[in-house]
Amino acid sequence: MLKNIIGQTLFQLGVMYWVVVDSPAVLGYVDGGSVPGATVHYTMVFNTFVMMQLFNQVRMGEGGGFGCTHGVVVCLWFVYFVGVLL
């Protein structure tokens, strides 16, 4: 389990670093604090973080196996929390 946590942490750090630092040049956003188009960049950063957290929660909801959708609706608490997040 520790290797899954460390692996997910490194993956999320790498993706978030790319989204914050390199994606404005690659995808053509405006990067800057007071520029009106900067909200697109910050929105992309936030949405990327939220989606990574949501998919990690769904993946780990069944115990970290690769068949993440098998039996996931059995746990009503899990379905409730995913519904609240969406």
Burial tier of 7 (Cβ tally within 10 Å: 0-12, 13-18, 19+): exposed
Owning domain of residue 81: 2-85
Q: How many domains does the chain have?
A: 1
Mean pLDDT of the chain: 75
The predicted pLDDT at position 14 comes to: 93
What per-residue confidence (pLDDT) applies to 36?
A: 65
% pLDDT > 90, the chain: 5
Looking at residue 72, its pLDDT comes to 61
71 pLDDT more than 70: no
Give the Å distances, CA to CA, from 23 to 3, 6, 14, 76.
28, 24, 12, 38
Q: Are 40 and 46 contacting, i.e. CB atoms less than 8 angstroms apart?
A: no
Which 8-state DSSP code applies to residue 33? S
